[in-house]
Structure 1
Amino acid sequence: MKIALFSDVHANLPALEAFFASIDQQKADAIYCLGDLVGYNIWPNEVINEMRQRKIPTIAGNYDYGVGRASDDCGCAYKTDEEKANGAVSISHTNQMVKDVERAYLRTLPAHLRVEFQLNKDKLTLLLVHGSPRRVNEYLFEDREEKSLLRIMQDADADIMCFGHTHKPYHRILPSVPDTPPHYRHAINIGSVGKPKDGDPRGCYVLLHISDQSGITGKDSIRVEFIRFEYDVEKAARAVEGSPLPQAFADALRLAR
C-alpha cells in the first residue's frame, strides 16, 4: 500500500499543479493533505478549489484555522520584528483575497485524522496532524529531544505520526522504552509542497509504504520515500513581486529558506 502525504501548499498554485502531475504518476492507494493551503502567495482560492474538486481528505493547518475565522493571527512563530511585520501583511492580504465559500470550507477542516490498520497481529495507528497532536502550531523540528517526541506519540497513541508546519522533511524511528516489549514508532515530517525551507526549492511530499509485514515490532517494516519535484519557482516568485506581499516571500521561494 502506498499512502501519499503532502502539506504546506501556502497558496502556491504552480507548485500544487506540479505536485498533482507528480502524484498522478505514483498510483497511490490513498492521499491526504496535512494543511496550510493558504498564506504567503496569491492563489488561496484556486488552491482551495483544487483540493475540493479532487475531494482530498485535508486537515486544518494553523493558517487555515486563522483565515477560516478571518483572524489576523496565523499562529506562526516569527523570530524577528521584520518577519512579524511581513507575516501581518500576509495574513491581512490573504483574508482580503479569500472568498466566503472558500473561507467556509477552511472552517470545516478537522484538526487531526487517525487511520488504523490491522494488516497482521499488530494494530498500526497512523496519526495525521499539522503541527503536533497537542497544538496545530507546535513546531516539531528534527532535533527535538527523543524523550519528548516519544512522549508526544505515546500520549496520542500513534505508531506512525506524520506532520508538517516546519517545512523541513525528516524521518525519525523512535525505539521502545527500556525493559518493555519492542515497539518502534515513526515520526515523519513530510516537508512542504509550496514553501520549502530546507535549502531545496523543489516541492516535497512523502510516499508511505505499508505492507502486511508492517508492524510495531519491526524497525524497518515501513518505508518512507521523500519525493522532490520541480515546479515553476519563478512564476510563483514573480506573482509575489506583483502583489502587495513582501519581497522576502519571493526570495524565500527562490532560496528555500
Structure 2
Amino acid sequence: MKIAIISDIHSNIEALHAVLRKIDKEKVDVIVNLGDIVGYNASPDECVTEIRKCEAISVSGNHDSAVHDLTARESFNVFANQAIRWSHFKLSKENKDFLKKLPLLSIVWDRFIACHGTLKSNDSYIVKPFQARRMFNIMRKEYQRINICFFGHTHRQAVWSRDVRGKVKQLKLNENPIHLNPEEMYLINPGSVGQPRQNDWRASFLTFEPEEAKITFYSVPYDLYKAQQKILKAELPSFLAERLAEGV
C-alpha cells in the first residue's frame, strides 16, 4: 500500500492540482490530508471541493476551524485574518459544513495518527525538541500501539524520532527515501502544498509505504504566477503573493 500525506493546501488550487497529478503518477492508494485546506490564498472553495472529490482522509487545521470559530482567529496575524474572513464568504454552504465536521485527529487503520498541529490542538507547533518530546509522551501514554504520527502546521518538512532509550532528535533530511526503524517512534511533517516555508516555492508532500516502513518526500513545481495573480485580483494582501515565490 502507498499512502500520500498532504498538508497546508491553503487555498492554492494550482499547487494542489500539481500535487494530485504527481500522486496519480505514483499510483497512491489513499490520500491523508492534515488540515488547513483554506486560508492565505485565493481558491478556498475549489480546494475544499477537490479534497472532497478525492475522498481524502482529513483532519481540521486551525484555518479550517477559523472559518466558523471567530475565537480561532485571535492568534492570526493581520494577513491571515484578512484572508480567512475573505474565504468565509467564498465558500459554499456544503464546503463550510464539511470543514466544520472535520475531526481534530484521526487514527488511520491503527497504523498511524494524523493531526494538524499536535494531538491536543490544531494551533500548536512542533519545532523544538521539548515539543517533540511532549508529543511522544502523549503517544506513549494514550496511543501505545502506534509509533508514527503525521502532523502539519509548520509548513516545513521534518522528521523527529524517539529511540528505545528515550532519546529524541530531529533527523537531517539528506537521504530520500527514509527508512523507518519499527523499534522507534516518529513525528513526520510532509511540508506544505500551498504555502511552503523552507526556502523552496515548490509544493511539498510525501508518500508512506507501511509494509516497507518507508517515507519519500516530494517537491513539485506548479503554476506559481497564476496563483499569485489570483491573490492580487482578489485584493488580498500582496505580501501573500510575494511570499509564495520565496518559499517563506
**One fold, TM greater than 0.5?**
yes
**Counterpart AA for 1:236:** A
Q: Does 1:162 align with 2:150?
A: yes
Q: Which residue of 2 aligns with 1:247?
A: 238
| Secondary structure of the structure 2 residue equivalent to 1:45 | helix
Please list the CA deviations of residues 85-119 of structure 1 after superposition, one character each: whole Å capped at 9, or x if unmatched.
Answer: 222211211112112121111112122111245xx
Relative to 1, partners in 2 of residues 1:175 and 1:161: Cα closer, same or farther, differing over 3 Å? same
Relative to 1, partners in 2 of residues 1:51 and 1:43: Cα closer, same or farther, differing over 3 Å? same
Q: Which residue of 1 aligns with 2:228?
A: 237
Relative to 1, partners in 2 of residues 1:76 and 1:17: Cα closer, same or farther, differing over 3 Å? farther
| Secondary structure of the structure 2 residue equivalent to 1:128 | strand
Query: 1:73·1:91 contact (CA, 8 Å) conserved in 2?
Result: no
Match of 1:91 among 84, 92, 95: 84
Q: Does 1:126 align with 2:117?
A: no
Relative to 1, partners in 2 of residues 1:256 and 1:73: Cα closer, same or farther, differing over 3 Å? farther
Query: 2:44·2:91 contact (CA, 8 Å) conserved in 1?
Result: yes
User: Would you identify which runs of 4 or more consecutive aligned residues in structure 1 move more than 2 Å?
Assistant: 71-78, 142-150
Please list the CA deviations of residues 4-32 of structure 1 after superposition, one character each: whole Å capped at 9, or x if unmatched.
Answer: 11011011010111111100001112221
| TM-score normalized with structure 2 length | 0.86
| TM-score normalized with structure 1 length | 0.83
CA distance in 2: counterparts of 1:126 and 1:104, whole angstroms = 26
Q: Does 1:11 align with 2:44?
A: no
CA distance in 2: counterparts of 1:74 and 1:10, whole angstroms = 16
The percent of aligned pairs where both chains have the same amino acid is 29
Q: Does 1:36 align with 2:22?
A: no
Q: Does 1:100 align with 2:93?
A: yes
CA distance in 1: counterparts of 2:78 and 2:219, whole angstroms = 31
How many residues in Structure 1 have an aligned counterpart in Structure 2? Answer: 231
Give the C-alpha shift of residue 74 in structure 1.
4.2
| Secondary structure of the structure 1 residue equivalent to 2:138 | helix
Match of 1:113 among 95, 106, 111: 106
**Counterpart AA for 2:79:** N
Higher mean C-alpha deviation, range 21-30 or range 152-161: 152-161
- CA RMSD of the aligned region, Å? 2.0
**Counterpart AA for 2:136:** L
CA distance in 2: counterparts of 1:145 and 1:32, whole angstroms = 23
Give the C-alpha shift of residue 225 in structure 1.
0.8
